[in-house]
A and B are shown apart, each in its own frame.
Chain A
Amino acid sequence: MNKNRPFFHYLTIGAVLLYLLVPLLGTLIYSFSTQWHKTILPEGLTFHWYGELFSDSLFLKAMGRSLILSVGATILSLLIMVPAIFSIVVYAPRLEKFIQALIVLTYAMPGVIIAVGLIRAYSNSGMPMVVVTVGAYFVGILPYMYQGTRNSLRNIQAVSLMEAAEILGASRFTAFLKVILPNIMPGVLVSSLLSFSILFGEFVLVNLLIGGSFETVQVYLYKKLNVSGHIASAIVICYFILISILSSIIVKVTRSRKETL
């Protein structure tokens, strides 16, 4: 019985991996194939679609816009949310329940409903919809930033560290800057990367709120789906490589963080 177990485990893991990798492998091969319609394997391999993709200024611009939106919202969140979460966790823990309620709300609202609500609220306000989107993103990544920052603060026993620093003559601002921030940085970095990855792949809000006027990678991909499956596959592969790089950074930072604790 015991001898059969490893085989069963390998079989299960193999089946799961196959289920996950086959579509990706298919997409990868399709992005390199000249034609793949009537045969089991592609008729030929080519870099043509990637060449075409990277020579399209619209794609590069869309990449840039996606980066601006995601990085902008993440940085804004870092600047506002981290000090706010720090203040609440350390000085007013009883307010944490309100933050938690906000987090539940962000999960409870489907993207389409948020988008329609935002359009109704802001379309005639004169505020550029790009700004509204960044604002919506800011709220959307609240759960990730909150969890990461709060857990880091608890891990380092931030309350005791602040008290120790204050007794040694540091102002609250100095104590936060010199003692708390360097120690929660790995956790905050992981949350930021996670938030960035999620925002970079976001489609519903950006398509409904700004769509064609501010084309991001996801909107570009959506349009290309109707033009060429090969190019769409190439976009998906590029996107996947970028997210893989980010994920490996997250794993590396998390590991080094565990080693230091």
Chain B
Amino acid sequence: MISIKNLNFNYGKNKVFSNLDLNIECGKIYGLLGENGVGKTTLLKLISGLLPVKKGSCTVCEHIPYNREVQFLESICYVPEEISCPSISLIDYGRNRGEFYPAFNMDEYIGYLTQFELKSDMNFQKISYGQKKKAIIAFAFATNTKILLMDEPSNGLDIPSKSQLRKIISANASEERCIIISTHQVRDLENIIDPIIILDKDAVLLNASVEEISRKLSFRFSDRESADALHNEQSIGGYISVEENITGSDDNVNIEALFNATIKNRKRIQTIFNSK
């Protein structure tokens, strides 16, 4: 569905990607993680055609994103971290913009708005940042596009809304749809995102399903740090130790600990995941 090969990108002298390779398939909810400035938003912008590829290739459903052909734009929806809204009611926003998406469903849009406790006659300019974000997310899901890109969707949402967001994301996962979520708030979306992509400067450190991560790494809770662990994460009442799974244990993946373990042990993690 999305194929990135030898991708190079830079902002002036600031190199962001060099020879990046990544394949993204449909029917999954990808979690895109990475430290600040590694290029998560840039990657989403390259996929959505908002930025041109400098060298290498990026194809999305056989389209070159930067050409912004109508068929491509009809199949993709991008929810940026910071949003801009016109001065109209939420229902008019859906009416005006939904017409451009062949699979847009107005009833679904109104349904999502209701789930997020938003009234359709509310004016975009007169609601809070979190409410705007919820309305844009509601619209994005109602477009029913094949690809949905979301940059920090849980930022600015209150606790009940985060729960609603999880429900909506889970309900919208389908074999035909690919959802990519870039986030720092991993706990908000834990148990939803699968596979997990950890991006680093110049490389994809990890692109693996939760099942594969669980098979290759163990996440054990103990009252003291483990000397053999790739990473020990302090937690309430003890430590979560991330180790290479040699015993075949089946632990729940702690994404935060995984992320920190990966960042601290770049080469080791790549070796573990590249071995069969």
Q: Do A and B come from one complex?
A: no
